[in-house]
Amino acid sequence: MSKVLDRFLHYVSFDTQSMDEQEQIPSTEKQLVLAKILKEELEAIGASQVRMSDNGYVYAVIPATADHPVKSLGFVAHMDTAPAMSGKDVKPRIAEHYDGKDLVLNEEKQIVMRVKDFPGMLDCVGKDLIVTDGTTLLGADDKAGVAEIMTMAEFFLSHPEIPHGNICIGFTPDEEVGRGADLFDVEHFGADVAYTVDGGPIGELEYENFNAASGKVEISGRSVHPGSAKGSMINALLVGMEFQAMLPAFENPMYTEGYEGFFHLDQMAGDVESAHLEYIIRDHDKEAFEQKKALFQEVSRYLNAKYGEGTVSVTMKDSYYNMKEQIEPDHLYLIDTAKEAMKNLHITPLVSPIRGGTDGARLSYMGLPCPNLSTGGYNFHGRFEFIPVQSLEQMVEVLKEIVILFEKM
Ligand SMILES: [Zn+2]
């Protein structure tokens, strides 16, 4: 069994599911168990400056062996798995030489992964797929990233004759609940630039994500007996519907893809007297993002002019920004280097915009430019998650190649 496979199967045996809306980091104590194991493993393979924070962030350094200055390069992966599906008692199975047909995950419970639902399976014909028994997720997101980074680190530690710069390693808790970057100590980490290894099918390379804001709309109506309401009632529910109707109808998650942004009505509640609407606003383009937020305010001004000042109040808050703004000016070489590494290994790079955010996006705004690399996995966050053994192994080679290309820069 290859080392990366061995490691991966070991890591997925730990339940590290994170939990939404917890005060503390990590959100679940059980993440610390794997954090401690990773710390010990980094020590055992001979990494330097191995340390674990009380919050379960694990850091280490593979010291430079090059005889000239090379940028310090970081690799980041997360240890937790998604709250959406259990990651306890994962029973991985390797379906060898996948033949391109539907795969029975669980005979007894009749859980079948069908090609028509998951056409990505056809990318993997002939490969050995690590699948679940259909009752849990697998945890390739992101224990594949952890295993790939660890195996790359071990390679360089056991080959001191290969020149490279400082390699900084970071394993984080709570990425799946949006908090992986919260307590990440960028300065202490020590890298000039980094990659998260947290993407999907092999070759994926991402450095554009949404600009994101949330918008809350409070509507104060005026309740009057319906029989005598003429000229005096203001129905907050109807004002809320009017608010939604004034937003562009097709700039909606239901009708958008690629680089198209949207207004998404996520929650709505109320009665005649008061109503409450919650939106998220997304756009890759900074200017279009600002225009969307301005329109949101404009709608509330219009409705206040129509129904009286104070009828509608809007609070908006930016959530995160497109990391492209941080990568493109001076760090596009991160993308070019990753592409070159993949091409050298006969992997086709697939650059596409993320329709969401990543920890790397937040780290990029905390001063650590940080695009995202593939792990090789498919169907994250659910029972149909899988990863080909060959992708795990190839990603180790991609990480090694990136380190080697960096030394030559
Ligand atoms: Zn992930």
Compute φ and ψ for 143, nearest 5 degrees.
-70, -20
Which stretch of DSSP H or E encloses residue 158? Answer: helix 140-158
Compute φ and ψ for 141, nearest 5 degrees.
-90, 95
User: Which residue out of 15, 142, 148, 175 is catalytically annotated?
Assistant: 175
State the first-to-last Cα distance of the chain, in angstroms, to the nearest integer: 34
pLDDT at 141: 95
CA angle 254, 259, 263 (to 5 degrees): 45
Report whether 131 contacts 358 (CB < 8 A). no
Is 271 tagged catalytic? no
pTM of the predicted protein model: 0.89
The CA 44 to ligand 1 mean position distance, Å, reads 26
Q: Give the span between the Cα atoms of 357 and 19, in whole angstroms.
A: 18
Q: Give the span between the Cα atoms of 53 and 174, in whole angstroms.
A: 14
pLDDT at 392: 98
The CA 139 to ligand 1 mean position distance, Å, reads 9
User: Which residue out of 15, 41, 80, 359 is catalytically annotated?
Assistant: 80
pLDDT at 67: 93
pLDDT at 196: 97
Strands 73-78, 167-172: parallel, antiparallel or unpaired by DSSP? parallel
The CA 284 to ligand 1 mean position distance, Å, reads 20
pLDDT at 364: 95
Query: How does pLDDT run across 304-325, given as a tens digit for each residue?
Result: 999 999 999 999 999 899 999 9
Q: Interhelix angle for 31-44 vs 140-158, to 10°?
A: 10
Token readout for 325 is: 């703004």
Report whether 341 contacts 405 (CB < 8 A). yes
pLDDT at 358: 83
The CA 122 to ligand 1 mean position distance, Å, reads 23
pLDDT at 329: 86
Q: Give the span between the Cα atoms of 183 and 172, in whole angstroms.
A: 9
Q: Give the span between the Cα atoms of 308 and 369, in whole angstroms.
A: 47
Neighbour order of strands in the sheet with 372-374: 48-52, 58-62, 167-172, 73-78, 193-199, 372-374, 204-206, 350-351
Report whether 338 contacts 373 (CB < 8 A). yes
- Those residues of the chain that have pLDDT short of 50 are none
Token readout for 25 is: 């980091």
Report whether 55 contacts 42 (CB < 8 A). no
The CA 127 to ligand 1 mean position distance, Å, reads 23
pLDDT at 357: 82
CA angle 173, 177, 181 (to 5 degrees): 55
In 26-128, at which residue ranges do the beta strands (DSSP E only) sit? 48-52, 58-62, 73-78, 93-95, 103-106, 111-113
**Environment of ion ligand 1 (residues, CB < 5 A):** 141-142, 198
Q: Give the span between the Cα atoms of 92 and 95, in whole angstroms.
A: 10
Which stretch of DSSP H or E encloses residue 165? Answer: none
pLDDT at 367: 94
Token readout for 156 is: 């360089």
Q: Give the span between the Cα atoms of 154 and 91, in whole angstroms.
A: 26
Residue 343 identity:
K
Is 102 tagged catalytic? no
Q: Give the span between the Cα atoms of 217 and 24, in whole angstroms.
A: 29
